[in-house]
Amino acid sequence: MSERKRRSDGERSRAAILDRASQLATVEGIEGLSIGRLAEAVGMSKSGLYAHFGSKEELQLATIETAYDIFRSAVLAPAAAASTGRERLERLTEGYLAYIERDTFAGGCFFASVLSEVDTQPGPVRDRLVAFLGEWLGLLESAIREAQAEGSLDAAEDPAQLTFEIEAAIFLANAQFVVLHDAEPIDRARRAIAKRLA
Amino acid sequence: MSERKRRSDGERSRAAILDRASQLATVEGIEGLSIGRLAEAVGMSKSGLYAHFGSKEELQLATIETAYDIFRSAVLAPAAAASTGRERLERLTEGYLAYIERDTFAGGCFFASVLSEVDTQPGPVRDRLVAFLGEWLGLLESAIREAQAEGSLDAAEDPAQLTFEIEAAIFLANAQFVVLHDAEPIDRARRAIAKRLA
């Protein structure tokens, strides 16, 4: 096997393992994501997994980056291509709701699921998730400010307060969608946001 | 020791154990609440704990009832004593926000914390928490309908939609309060709700 072929197989395998890990983390928790548990789930030996990830924490952080790539493709990239702040805001919120609605992860939004699990557990895993949350809220607030500057959103709105209210609707939609297996909370969030941005 | 004295000691001890268990569940998770882990946390033998709770699931369900009693005293009972629907609605939402703000549980709202953990894990623990959620949302919606009937809230509002929006604000306030250790999200929720009910 050539060096290139071997590296490519290793990378494909690593990607497949991390994809499974990101699904599993939203159902069984990222704290439950041990090398042993994942080895069982993907049908590999523990030593085979250790060749990819040296520790549980390394595996957890790599899983978060995989989930982030999925989220970026699904939600962030289409929003970044918007030509106005208003359009970007709508793509961010609708992109997030659609990403939940089509069951991208078995346990709802990866970041909501995993951050609620480790919110009281200091360490690099929590730090990475809190950084994600800051980026996400920052994107919403920037889009709001830009829409206000464009004149497509009421300039009297407090951008941080509006960010909170929009995030509240989509955050609850995710939680209730996972619990109820029903699209109603997604629709309620759409209605709440449309009314707030009208 | 008389029978009465012995029973009373046993009950005091059981209550103290469950109080510790309800705190621990919001930090380490209710799935992490094994007889062994709790024995370590309260400084008792595992056999001593088995005398109180026959199984992990029995312990988990008893812990939920303890948390429910705390929530009932803090939030539900004061709201039930309100003389109007509008006042009950305000007491439910403000009571919930105050219960978060004063760190009743180390990991934020017990029910939000634990339901997000077991939302994809079928069984009696999840069932009990989903029943709690139904009761809570039902109380908010009843208070809204009553306030509308009294004429103290716009009759054109869809009660289920308004319930969703109020719950969204307090649910996010809880999550952000746990992550940020800051009162700002609590204040944002207060502002969002006051504006919605104005």
> What are the pLDDT digits (tens) for A148-167?
999 999 999 999 999 999 99
Question: For residues B170 and B93, is the Cβ–Cβ distance under 8 A?
Answer: yes
**Domain containing B63: what range?**
3-197
- Residue A178: exposed, middle, or buried by beta-carbon count in 10 A (0-12, 13-18, 19+)? buried
Q: What percent of chain B has pLDDT over 70?
A: 94
CA-based nearest residue in chain B for residue A117: B117
Distance, in Å, from the CA atom of A143 to the CA atom of A7, rounded to the nearest integer, reads 40
Alpha-carbon distance A32 to nearest alpha carbon in chain B (angstroms): 10
Which residues of chain B neighbour A171 with C-beta distances below 8 Å? 168, 171-172, 175
Distance, in Å, from the CA atom of B59 to the CA atom of B32, rounded to the nearest integer, reads 11
Indicate the number of domains in chain B: 1
| CB of A159 less than 8 A from some CB of B | no
Half-sphere exposure in the Cβ direction for A131 (13 Å, CA):
10
Alpha-carbon distance A93 to nearest alpha carbon in chain B (angstroms): 15
CATH code of the domain in which A32 resides: 1.10.357.10
pLDDT in tens, A108-130: 999 999 999 999 999 999 999 99
Distance, in Å, from the CA atom of A109 to the CA atom of A111, rounded to the nearest integer, reads 6
| Statement: residue A1 has pLDDT above 60 | no
pLDDT in tens, A8-43: 666 678 999 999 999 999 999 999 898 999 999 998
Q: Which amino acid is at A4?
A: R
> Per the confidence metrics, is the pTM higher than 0.80?
yes
Show which of residues 67-106 on chain B sit within 8 Å of chain A, judged by CB atoms. Answer: 106
Give me the interface pTM, i.e. the ipTM.
Answer: 0.93
